[in-house]
Chain A
Amino acid sequence: MNEKLQFQLRAQISQMDSISTAPAILMPLLEMLRLPSDRISLEKVVELISYDGAIAAQCLRLANSPLFGRRQTETVRAAVMALGLERVRSMLFGLCVNRVMPQDKWVIPPDAFWRHSLGCALVTQRMANKIEYPEPEKAYLAGLLHDLGFLVNSVLYTDGFRECLRLAAEQHLALHVVEEQVLGFSHCDAGQMLCEHWGLSKELVDAARCHHDVCLLPKAGPLACLVHLSDLLCRVRYLGYGYEEFMGVDLGGDAAWQALVRSYPALEHMDLVRFTFDIDGAMDQIVATVDAVFGAKTMTAPASG
């Protein structure tokens, strides 16, 4: 990405009114996402949710849905308890982002985007647990945020990005490769800048920037590597960007894997096939959760509660 373009994109992001003025609860929410779930106080979450009528209504509705056994849930507090913190966190994040995304600007279908993002979050976290990475919650967050750059591109370069998706789908190619060719930069650059703009930690910024090429970092950080690998795994497990990519992935031969093995020898003995089976097994759950939380209709809920 050349300097001029970089400068321009950065300026555009800071002026993007929808994204730069994220809903008031986004920042405290991101803050909260970073904590291990046992350190989050239920009261804090309930308070956050109650700020926002539409989001509160969403929580209640979900908690009362067949997915959760149609409990009679009438308070936000009960709803959060029924849903579980994990679900509530990703749901809140998704709802915030959906709120700032103008409906007509989605290029990647929103359900595909959320399945991929949530899938990556869960896989990154599982993998982090496997290697005993000290902050699995942060790994979850890195997975959840890694492709936000797609949303920037959808808003700022709607037509160009649409063309990227069309070409990638037609030729079954990786989207970031086509972005580089058509736009001159990829969602990795855009995601990096958005994360910086939001003041996220350096590690999360790096994960957004380097998740398709960990060699960009002088010393590949574990988060970027974990996200890179989960992104690949999700894409070969039908949690991609809503089109069919023709790819064969040798995870063990991947630079990110090898960088991780150097820092986490436990990985060397990890049974990748078995890990994949576990993901396959969890897939229905991921898809059902995403559909319930971000299902197409849910997203158009107007901001009144």
Chain B
Amino acid sequence: MAIEIAKAKPVAPPDSTPVDPAYLKIRDLIYRISGIYYSEEKHYLLKSRCERRMAALRVTSAPEYFEHLTIRGNRDAELRLLLNEITIGETYMFRHPAQLEALRNVILPSILQAKGLISLKRLRFWCAGCSTGEEPHTLAMFLLEEKDKLLAGWSFEILATDLNDNSLEAARAGIYGEYALRNTSDAMRRKYFKDVGNQKLQGNDLLKAPIRFERINLSDDSKMLFQKGMDVIFCCNVLIYFDLASKRRVVQHFYSNLLPGGYLFLGNAESLFQVDDSFRLVHFAGVTAYLKPTAALAGGGKK
């Protein structure tokens, strides 16, 4: 009567020590300001990020640190520093496979079907806040792999934008080390990259062809107005830096930039709750996205 429980992952015992309520307040503050949310089980992460800032400030208790974030004179600066701490950590290719699965399995088939009725077989993607380019390069690989399958007969382009000139320059060069490529298979490396020595790989022409880089400040209304006809927009881990009013503005731009039936993806732990309710929240396997409904679907219900 062998009973095996060894396979089960050890988890915190049900009676683990409760969190300091000040961290719950910090969690709610972060969520309200940036839309980034730490679930109960992720508290240890929030705690360790805060502790780094607390060490820098020589603050020893969470309630005291909460004061620094809310009532001390330097609170805005401190909040920004904490946000930097939270969003720190370089990005890498194929970081959000669930987004790509949702594209392949559900989103693209439905967009292709709707657009197939019109003659122009072209898709437009936008990576807004692309930083050093991991995101658009990943998307390019994904789309190129589907070129003869799902996307047979279709053309596509990726607009990749950021505000930061240094990041954009790095993105254009497309030279990546092991960290950025950690989730990229050997087959993909061989197909889309060339060795440039120093243990670095550079995206080849095949990979770069569909991507167009451009400097766009998401708060620049005049520029935002011109990015029309998008099918899917990725804006991951960018809006966290925005206050509510500017976030709303950007999201409204995205809404009008998208074609009906198009989708907006945010970062893994971001949310548009109370930011915008024109989009419809849609759950896919392991990921959520925001749909700009087609006229028939618009209105009614909870967004």
- Interface residues of chain A, those whose CB is within 8 Å of chain B, are 57-58, 61-62, 65-69, 84, 172, 232-233, 236-238, 244-253, 257-258, 261, 267-268, 271-274, 276-278, 280-282, 284-285, 287-289, 291-292, 295-298, 301-302, 304
Q: Is the CB of B1 within 8 A of A250?
A: no
Number of interface residues of B (CB under 8 A): 43
Query: Given A274-B271, A295-B5 in contact, is the A285-B41 Cβ separation under 8 Å?
Result: yes
Q: B303 to chain A: which residues have CB within 8 Å?
A: 252
Q: Which of B4, B40, B288 contacts A281 (CB 8 A)?
A: B40
Residue of B nearest to A84 (CB): B14
B residues 253-303 in Cβ contact with A at 8 Å: 269, 271-274, 280-286, 288, 291, 297, 300-303
Bound: A273/B303 CA distance, A: 11
B283 CB contact (under 8 Å) in A251, A258, A289: A251
**A65 close to B281 (CB less than 8 A):** no
Give me 18 A-to-B residue pairs in the complex whose CB atoms sit less than 8 angstroms apart, sorted by A's number: A61-B5, A65-B5, A233-B283, A248-B102, A248-B283, A250-B301, A253-B300, A258-B301, A271-B271, A273-B281, A274-B273, A280-B39, A282-B40, A288-B11, A295-B7, A298-B3, A298-B5, A302-B1
How far is it, in angstroms, between the C-alpha of A160 and the C-alpha of B201 when the chains are bound? 52
Are the CB atoms of B283 and A249 closer together than 8 Å? yes
Q: Are A282 and B11 in contact (CB under 8 A)?
A: no
A271 and B273 contact, Cβ closer than 8 Å, known pairs A247-B106, A295-B5: yes
Contact A295 B8 (CB under 8 A): yes
Contact flag A66-B10 (CB < 8 Å), given A57-B1, A273-B288, A274-B37: yes
Establish whether residues A251 and B281, one from each chain, have CB atoms under 8 Å apart when the complex forms. Answer: yes
Q: Nearest chain-B residue to A285 (Cβ)?
A: B11
Contact A236 B10 (CB under 8 A): no
Question: What is the minimal beta-carbon distance from B295 to any residue of chain A, in angstroms?
Answer: 15
CB < 8 Å: which of A62, A84, A273 contacts B273? A273
With A271-B271, A285-B41 as contacts: A247 and B284 at CB distance below 8 Å: yes
Chain B residue nearest in CB terms to A280: B39
Give the distance to chain B from A116, nearest Cβ to Cβ, in Å.
14
| Distance from B181 Cβ to chain A, minimum over Cβ atoms (Å) | 26
The answer to whether A236 touches B14, judged by C-beta atoms less than 8 angstroms apart, is: no
**B37 lies within 8 A of A257 (CB):** no
CA distance A268 to B303 in the complex (A): 10
Cβ contact of A238, chosen from B14, B269, B285, cutoff 8 A: B285
Give me the 8 closest cross-chain CB pairs, A-B, nearest first.
Answer: A281-B39, A252-B302, A281-B41, A273-B271, A297-B4, A65-B5, A246-B105, A291-B8
Closest CB-CB distance, A64 to chain B, in whole Å?
Answer: 9
| Interface residue from B1, B285, B302 paired with A236 (Cβ < 8 Å) | B285
